[in-house]
Structure formats: structure tokens, C-alpha cells
Amino acid sequence: MRILGIESSCDETAAAVVTDDRAVLSNVIYSQTLEHLAYSGVVPEIAARAHLEKIDIVVKKAITDAGMTASDLDAVAGTCGPGLIGGVIVGATFAKAMSFSLGIPFIAINHIEAHALCARLTNDVNFPYLLLLASGGHCQICIAHGVEQFEIIGKTLDDSVGESFDKAAKMMDLGYPGGPAVEKLSHNGNPDRFNLPRPLCSKDSLDFSFSGLKTAVRITIEKHIQSEQDKADLCASFQRTVNDVLSYKMSSALCLCKSRNINLDAVVISGGVAANKSIRNSMQLICNRHEVRFCAPPINLCTDNGVMIAWNGVEKARDNKFDDLDFRPRPRWPLKETAA
């Protein structure tokens, strides 16, 4: 089974072909970073237009890179949400049009679920696994019990982790996207210089809150930041703080799983923030301590890509879960939750 995946929910126009025996036949990503750079963030209208300009080129290349023609495809999977609706409509409509013209099934993909399942492709992870989903739009801890079966045990009450990286970077004029910029500068900084708040870390809850951290970063900038070294120190201190919060919550989540006798196959981190090497290292350390396998997709598959969409298509096609062409793109679309 060869499935084409199309992604267009934010600022990457991406397409890939993946097979049901876990071969990635192609992976094409056009990043709109240059289009949005001047605005220090994604401008929805510009994003939608840029997707429209590039989508046919990206999809065509994904099919030719896979060494096939469109008629060799068995199904088309397209992100139908959540995300910036203009871009989602572009990708979803393109995927539906291909499905209609080729006479093959269409699969509507939830972008968050695609991040959540990606490690099953790249690291052969089995259910159940503990998942930290940390992207620009989301921050959740889930126990993944199956496809479309996610038990959400922790979530952010305000900003996502990626958003807090992006806002910190914007306040320090580090450009966009913020996460990689903060990570890069933090290499030259002193993580002990600034003591930033670690919200909700003393509470018996797996929820997150990052808005106080953002305010603390703003106040620190106003009071202390003059030189490049000051910025590097703040980046390092910020990254250390985020790391501490994520580590604390994941440790607590692992204890919860243990108390419920859930036999986890692995701990997985996915979403754009999972590209951060120091966060990956911290998660590895926690997993060593708890004697559980740690997995994260390779860095290029943590941020948005078509491979994860195609793979989610494979997972749904295996269960014969196809969608009608009148499936409506959704700006909001929470993960399908399952009870404990």
C-alpha cells in the first residue's frame, strides 16, 4: 500500500509517499520561513497564498522522488485540521481532488494525531506509550492506547511550549522560528544566570502553564538584557526552565503509569519542540531513571512534514477508515480522547 500525505496546516507545504511496510519513499518540504521572516511570525493570509503557489510542485516532486506516477498511489491523506484554516483548505482540497480524479480513497488527517503516531513509523513503537506532544500549537501529555485512542492526562492551561519559545525569541529579536534560534544562542549562555518561574511544578497536576514564564522573560529583558551575552544567558536560562518543567511533569506522568500498572512500550516526544536537543537529552535521562525506552522521531520529522501525514493515512487505511470528500476542514480539532 502506497499512500501520499499532504500537509499545509501552518508554514510548511509538504508531501511524502509512505508504504504500509514503513518505507519512506519520498519526503518533500517547502518551508515558508522567508515569506514570514519580516513579520517575526506566521501571517495566515500569506501562508495560505504560499501553499497555493507551491502545493502542485511539492506534490509532483513527492510522487516523482518516490519513483512512481500518481496512478501507482493507493490512497491520499491530507491534513484537515487543526491549523490555519486558509492553508488547511488548500491542502485538503488538493488531496480530495487527487482522490476524486484518481478514483482512490481520501483520508482526513488530524495534524496532532499525525505528530503523535510518527514515532510508530520511525522507531517502531507499540501501544501503549506515554507521549509528550510539544508543538507550536499544542502541549499535551497523553497515554497513546491506539490509533484515535489517546488518554490526555496533562495539557497546557494557556500557551504551548513552542509558542513560549517563539514569544521569547520575538521579545529578544532573535527572528522566526523562535525555537531553533533560542536553542542555538543558548549554547553560548549560562543557564544559571536568571531564575525564572517553573509554574505548576509544586502542584499535584500534570497540566502546564507557560504564560507566567513569558511575562518573566519580558521583565528580565526590560531589566537586564543589553549585550548579546545577556541574551545568550537568558536563552540558556529559559531553555533550562522549560526543560525542568517538562522533565518534572513527565516524571510524574511515568509514576502515574506505574501506579496504574500500564506496561509502556516507550516514552515518546513529538512535535516541533521535540527537535530541541537539550529537551531530548533530558527526556532520555528521565527514561533511564525510570528504566523505560525513550524515542523521538529524527529531528527533520519532528517539525511539520508530509511523512507523518502519509503514515497516519497508513494507520487509518489498515483499519479501513476512509473519509468522504465532503469532510470539512477544521480550524480546531482536538485529539480523539479515550477514557482511562
Site residues, ligand KG4 (CB under 6 A): 10, 135-137, 162, 165-166, 177-180, 183, 271-273, 275-276, 303-304
C-alpha cell read off for 26: 519520498
Determine the distance from the C-alpha atom of residue 232 to the mean position of all C-alpha atoms in its chain, rounded to a whole number: 25
Residue 166 or 233 with smaller CB distance to Zn ion: 166
DSSP per-residue letters across 22-68? S-EEEEEEEE-HHHHHTTTS--HHHHHHHHHHHHHHHHHHHHHHTT-
User: d(Cα 329, Cα 78) in Å, to the nearest integer?
Assistant: 10
User: d(Cα 58, Cα 124) in Å, to the nearest integer?
Assistant: 27
Q: Which of 11, 233, 265, 304 binds Zn ion (CB under 5 A)?
A: 304
Answer yes or no whether residue 323 interacts with Zn ion by CB under 5 A. no
Residue 105 or 162 with smaller CB distance to ligand KG4: 162
Lay out the site mask for Zn ion across 156-175 (x = CB under 5 A, - = otherwise): --------------------
Taking alpha carbons only, the member of 161, 96, 166 closest to residue 327 is 96
User: d(Cα 302, Cα 321) in Å, to the nearest integer?
Assistant: 25
User: d(Cα 238, Cα 233) in Å, to the nearest integer?
Assistant: 8
Residue 252 or 303 with smaller CB distance to ligand KG4: 303
Please state at what angle helix 228-259 crosses helix 211-224, rounded to 10 degrees.
160
**CB of 68: closest distance to ligand KG4 in angstroms?**
27
**CB of 198: closest distance to Zn ion in angstroms?**
25
**CB of 80: closest distance to ligand KG4 in angstroms?**
14
**CB of 145: closest distance to ligand KG4 in angstroms?**
22
**CB of 122: closest distance to ligand KG4 in angstroms?**
15
Residue 74 or 244 with smaller CB distance to ligand KG4: 244
Find which of ligand KG4, Zn ion, none residue 178 binds, CB within 5 to 8 Å per kind: ligand KG4
C-alpha cell read off for 143: 497515554
**CB of 112: closest distance to ligand KG4 in angstroms?**
8
Q: Which of 13, 135, 305, 312 binds Zn ion (CB under 5 A)?
A: 135
Find which of ligand KG4, Zn ion, none residue 273 binds, CB within 5 to 8 Å per kind: ligand KG4
Please state at what angle helix 306-318 crosses helix 111-122, rounded to 10 degrees.
90
What is the size of the binding site for Zn ion (CB under 5 A)? 2
Residue 304 or 315 with smaller CB distance to ligand KG4: 304
Residue 99 or 239 with smaller CB distance to ligand KG4: 239
* Span interacting with Zn ion, options 119-127, 143-151, 303-311, 329-337, rule CB under 5 A: 303-311
Residue 205 or 284 with smaller CB distance to ligand KG4: 284
Element (H or E) spanning 97, and its range?
helix 85-102
* Span interacting with Zn ion, options 14-22, 276-284, 302-310, 316-324, rule CB under 5 A: 302-310
**CB of 279: closest distance to ligand KG4 in angstroms?**
7
User: d(Cα 97, Cα 264) in Å, to the nearest integer?
Assistant: 40
C-alpha cell read off for 70: 500518481
SS3 letters for 314-338? HHHHHCCCCECCCCCCCCCCCCCEC
